[in-house]
Structure 1
């Protein structure tokens, strides 16, 4: 079968012919899935570029990728939650199911967590072996193209739903694909005003298309000043999606006293902020967001897509044949896209 791999240490990926997994390769709780759609994540781009994080984490050879929609074609002897023919998406976080976090309803932050396509072979292939534990049977009304991005959509939902947004004013720093999804989620959740901070022209345009009330380019205008021009008290909630240190600091300054902050962006190292002045003395509540709540977030994602309350056609900008994966990565590297989906049918 065809698979996209990090074959050796160094920049780039390759598509190769590798052995197709069969029923005999399955453990008791493993599932063999025919991958029908796969989308490219920022994590995949990091692995492609072979940055410092990738070098410390990835052990080649490895089939990469983790965002998918597929069809169950075989199951292990102890599998009970899915059957042959089911359409499934995959949670990226593979829990051990035994640690304190797993036993107390927090599998997404499992102490012994493994990541699909990072610590194990992933889904950039025609077939993949995936643990039963992380599969979600999505509603058949959801198109495959959008089911394949339920995992990052779940990031947006978790970030936006950790606090009640009904009637709240919201600032989203960063309008990448997950930030764009978060605009729609915030609106569905009842946010009164959604302000977005973004510098990229394409993403500014897409932020408006996804329902932002105001978009501020901090490279052209002072974000803090502009927010307080619009709202005397600042925003009630900050959703940090950028991973940009300046954006985070300015975003905190925009939050009203006693407001709430939800941080999904990854900064890639230490950041320096005046914690006393920006957070403690202003009584802010700060939530660190990783992954998705398993499987509460997935249920919400499924319902929002099934009932068309969220329109991911405004976020998925490219659907390419699997063989054109290099074009997909080029679009991602050059930030000329929203989400890129690879079609394996």
Structure 2
């Protein structure tokens, strides 16, 4: 089969012929239809310091996918050939305290699909049945391909109650855009999205942001005045990993405000801890998705009319993967999809 492989310990990815994966007793084999390009894939392609530490070559990359089940292992009973599926990209040990307590998203021994084991940028993918999500309700195939990052957005956005709340989202990348759509759909009063990229801010307006703010020109305080907020924002969703973004969020949160932080900083940085303490601000770190409560919420949100179509801005054949990765690396749009059925 064809697969995108990190074949050498140097920048680049290569489309190679590799063996079709074998299916174990508790696994399913998926014929991949679409995949989404993630920031993790860009790191692996560029072979930066993180990738050099995290990845052993050769490796089939990718973890965002949708496809059809073509074979099931002998112990699999709840998934059938022909099911349309996506998959949870975090494979857990099942034996640690958190796994045994049902908190699998907190497993300390998590292995990442397409990072710690062969991934989804291939014509076929073998995955444990316990990591498979069957789409019981029809979902657009491109949207189903990005359920993994959509889950990050849902996990972050729904960490705290949103009904009637004023929400500040820092970072209008694909996950920030999806979080804005979720927050508005879930009943937030105002959703303000900040970034410095006008193209992404335009996408934020398309998904329902009340205000899409270029912080290179306008301050968060100005947005508060425009909206008539007298006490600050109730909930912050930090999606950028940018130190100034978090500092600005903390400075503009109401007393007792809550922050869900998904953005991953590249290095340590200082924040105003006295303000956090005196304002009784809660900060919650987010990684991945709750298995599988977040997945259930994702499906229900889409069934209820949530529209993620504006977030997908690039579609390419897998044969044109170089152009697709270049598009994603420019950072001007939303999600980029690779078509493996073409």
- Matched residue, 2:147: 150
Find the residue that maps to 2:212 and give its secondary structure: strand
Cα offset, 1:225, TM superposition: 4.8
- State the number of aligned residues: 340
Rounded Cα–Cα distance in structure 1 between residues aligned with 2:232 and 2:174: 25
Find the residue that maps to 2:122 and give its secondary structure: coil
Rounded Cα–Cα distance in structure 1 between residues aligned with 2:268 and 2:78: 41
Cα offset, 1:336, TM superposition: 3.3
2:217 corresponds to 1:217: no
| CA-atom RMSD in angstroms | 1.2
Rounded Cα–Cα distance in structure 1 between residues aligned with 2:215 and 2:111: 37
- For residues 261-301 of structure 1, the C-alpha deviation after alignment (integer angstroms, 9 at most, x for no partner) is 11010002212112122x11110111111111110110111
- Matched residue, 1:236: 234
Rounded Cα–Cα distance in structure 1 between residues aligned with 2:143 and 2:112: 21
2:299 aligned residue (298, 302, 306): 302
Rounded Cα–Cα distance in structure 1 between residues aligned with 2:143 and 2:213: 28
2:253 aligned residue (246, 252, 255): 255
Contact 1:34 1:128 in 2 (8 A): yes
- Matched residue, 1:12: 12
2:336 corresponds to 1:336: no
CA distance 1:253–1:229, shift in 2 (3 Å): farther
Contact 1:101 1:109 in 2 (8 A): yes
Rounded Cα–Cα distance in structure 2 between residues aligned with 1:322 and 1:170: 37
1:186 aligned residue (180, 183, 186): 183
Cα offset, 1:109, TM superposition: 1.7
Q: How does 1:41-52 map to 2 (within 5 A)?
A: 41-52=38-49
1:87 aligned residue (81, 84, 89): 84
Cα offset, 1:314, TM superposition: 0.8
The alignment's TM-score, normalised by the length of structure 2, stands at: 0.97
Cα offset, 1:210, TM superposition: 0.8
Rounded Cα–Cα distance in structure 2 between residues aligned with 1:182 and 1:315: 11
- Matched residue, 1:170: 167
Unaligned runs of 5+ in 1: none
- Matched residue, 1:324: 320
The alignment's TM-score, normalised by the length of structure 1, stands at: 0.96
Unaligned runs of 5+ in 2: none
2:267 aligned residue (266, 269, 273): 269
**Mean Cα deviation higher: 25-34 or 54-63:** 25-34
Contact 1:224 1:250 in 2 (8 A): no
- For residues 110-159 of structure 1, the C-alpha deviation after alignment (integer angstroms, 9 at most, x for no partner) is 12111100001000000011111110001341011110111111111111
Find the residue that maps to 2:53 and give its secondary structure: helix
Cα offset, 1:229, TM superposition: 5.4
1:313 aligned residue (266, 284, 309): 309
Cα offset, 1:224, TM superposition: 3.8
Rounded Cα–Cα distance in structure 1 between residues aligned with 2:195 and 2:118: 34
Contact 2:312 2:337 in 1 (8 A): yes
Find the residue that maps to 2:153 and give its secondary structure: helix
- For residues 246-265 of structure 1, the C-alpha deviation after alignment (integer angstroms, 9 at most, x for no partner) is 11111111110111111010
Cα offset, 1:226, TM superposition: 3.8
CA distance 1:296–1:259, shift in 2 (3 Å): same
Contact 1:37 1:145 in 2 (8 A): yes
Rounded Cα–Cα distance in structure 1 between residues aligned with 2:226 and 2:141: 43
Find the residue that maps to 1:26 and give its secondary structure: coil
